Amino acid sequence: MKLLGNIIWLLFGGIIISIEYLISSILLMVTIIGIPFGLQTLKLAILALWPFGAEIRMKPGNPGCISTLMNVIWIFIGGIWIALTHLVFGVLFAITIIGIPFALQHFKLAALALTPFGREIV
pTM for the predicted model, two decimal places? 0.90
Q: Give residue 42's identity as a one-letter amino acid code.
A: L
- Range name among 34-38, 50-54, 59-63 with the lowest pLDDT average: 59-63
pLDDT of residue 47: 93
Residue 63 — very low, low, confident or very high, per pLDDT cuts 50/70/90? confident
Q: Where are the domains of the chain?
A: 2-121
The whole-number average pLDDT for the span 47-72 is 90
In tens, the pLDDT along 74-101 reads 999 889 999 999 999 999 999 999 999 9
Q: Smallest Cα–Cα separation from 14: which of 101, 111, 114, 117? A: 101
Whether 55 shows a pLDDT value over 90: the answer reads yes
Q: Across all residues in the chain, what is the average pLDDT?
A: 92
